[in-house]
Structure 1
Amino acid sequence: MKATHGGRARYHHGDLRNALIEAAIELAALGGPEKVVLREAARTVGVSPTAAYRHFGGHGDLLEAVKVRGQQALADSMAEAVAALPGLDDPGEEAERTAKAIGRGYLRFALDQPGLYRTAFCRTPLDEEDDFNGLQAPDRPEFAAFVLLSEALDALVAAGRMRPENRPGAEAAAWSSVHGLALLILDGPLARLPGEERDAVIEGTLATLVAGLTR
């Protein structure tokens, strides 16, 4: 679908909409949501802006598509971190390790793909029309990361490691803790930490978070 010519991906045939989204993902990876521009995506794949506007009503529609892809990539990173865990016979220990792995995969994506990570959480015009409803729309890809977190918390309760009365609203506490750490590392004072110290902070934060959830 794509060929490289003069440093640019050129669109030849097939799914133009998807080609534009892929180009926009590359733009987001380079500079975050501000770099996602429909005309630039069209230029990258070698089509006219007019052709691009046949598939997207405007910048907001393209940005929303990239945001959804970013959320799915985030969820994939979380799932991969869980899949890499060794099997355990103790359900409680497995639930705690899974919860930590969920956070580890989240942070790994944020640090490896900061531009796409920021785009995954940017505001788009569609946000004004669509309330966050991850629990009632679990099959939507933009809620995949939230669903993985919810399932990990449910597993802590099922394994007897988390008290049922502490379960309601636990997603917000866990999510904000890990998301806040990601921003401190990307844009705040923790950005200056050497790699080993940064990793130690990540592991310490995840251990503290899970300890708080299971107290």
Structure 2
Amino acid sequence: MENSRTGQGGKAGYHHGDLRNALIGAGLELATDGGPGKVVLREVARRAGVSATAAYRHFAGQGELLHAVKMEAQQMLADAMERVAAGLPGDGDPGVAAERRLVGIGRGYVGFALEHPGLFRTAFHHATAGEEEDAGWGGVTSVAGNPEFRSYNMLSAALDELLAAGRMPAANRPGAEAAAWSTAHGVAMLILDGPMARLSQRDRDGVIERSIDTIVAGLLVPREHPAGA
């Protein structure tokens, strides 16, 4: 039964209301602790304080549950990006505001990855055999306005704002999302799983700031070669 009971380990179980969201919440706890590999349906049910049978009424299998947790992690990532971007005002200048918003989005992205590595990895988890298929970019009719791609849409809108404000040449706009996203994601993964994990906090912050500033500067100005180069 989906009635009130307390799960093992001292965690409060499901009591009433929306069991689906309670299961997703338990899944987010597991993802926070250990990434997508820890999001197991039976453990999620145990944490929510219900039987696995009750959990299966809301999720057909492991893949469906993990996909739902992934979508929540994506929303949490986008929220973090929005918070940082909102904290960098543009002093009334639309061009400055657009530039600072792009910088804030990048800092929020990398910051979330480092603060919540398990959730970050879950947000970008790809389906494997036996899991719900991940449609990816080619499997959606439209990325724009799709909540599944909210963080990407935020980046795209910030780039459009730069262009509209005259801060970015039109020639730099095509493919700008891929360049900016790849830079932020690459820096995050090098710090999480690569040699940059050994950097001091000060050096790490410097790498993040320099990387984001470099990609933004590259989008703002035409790439010109010095005479005689």
SS in 1 for 2:13: strand
Q: Is the aligned partner of 1:107 residue 2:110?
A: yes
The answer to whether the 8 Å contact 1:134/1:147 transfers is: no
Query: Under a length normalisation based on structure 2, what TM-score does the superposition of the two structures give?
Result: 0.88
Distance 1:74 1:46 in 2: 28
Q: How does 1:48-197 map to 2 (within 5 A)?
A: 48-124=51-127, 125-129=131-135, 131-132=137-138, 136-197=142-203
1:165 offset after TM fit, Å?
A: 2.0
1:63-121: CA deviation from partner (whole Å, max 9, x where unpaired): 00011001111110111011112341222222111111110000111011100000000
SS in 2 for 1:19: helix
Distance 1:118 1:185 in 2: 13
Distance 1:98 1:63 in 2: 31
The 10-residue stretch of structure 1 (93-102 or 17-26) with the greater mean CA deviation from structure 2: 93-102
Match of 1:26 in 2: 29
1:4-57: CA deviation from partner (whole Å, max 9, x where unpaired): 874223111111111000000000000000000000000111111110000000
Distance 2:156 2:25 in 1: 29
1:127 offset after TM fit, Å?
A: 4.0
CA gap 1:17/1:202 in 2 versus in 1, 3 angstroms = same
The answer to whether the 8 Å contact 2:26/2:47 transfers is: yes
Tell me the percent identity.
Answer: 58
Kindly name which structure, 1 or 2, has the bigger radius of gyration based on alpha carbons: 2
The 10-residue stretch of structure 1 (61-70 or 138-147) with the greater mean CA deviation from structure 2: 138-147
Q: How does 1:8-47 map to 2 (within 5 A)?
A: 8-47=11-50
Distance 1:134 1:88 in 2: 38
The 10-residue stretch of structure 1 (6-15 or 26-35) with the greater mean CA deviation from structure 2: 6-15
Where in structure 1 do 4 or more consecutive aligned residues deviate above 6 Å? 1-5
Q: Which consecutive residues of structure 1, in runs of 5 or more, have no partner in the other structure?
A: none
Distance 1:105 1:134 in 2: 26
Q: Which consecutive residues of structure 2, in runs of 5 or more, have no partner in the other structure?
A: 222-229
The answer to whether the 8 Å contact 1:69/1:142 transfers is: no
CA gap 1:82/1:129 in 2 versus in 1, 3 angstroms = closer
Task: Compute the RMSD of aligned alpha carbons.
Answer: 2.0
Match of 1:206 in 2: 212
- The count of corresponding residues between Structure 1 and Structure 2 is 215
1:196 offset after TM fit, Å?
A: 1.1
SS in 1 for 2:80: helix
Distance 1:21 1:57 in 2: 14
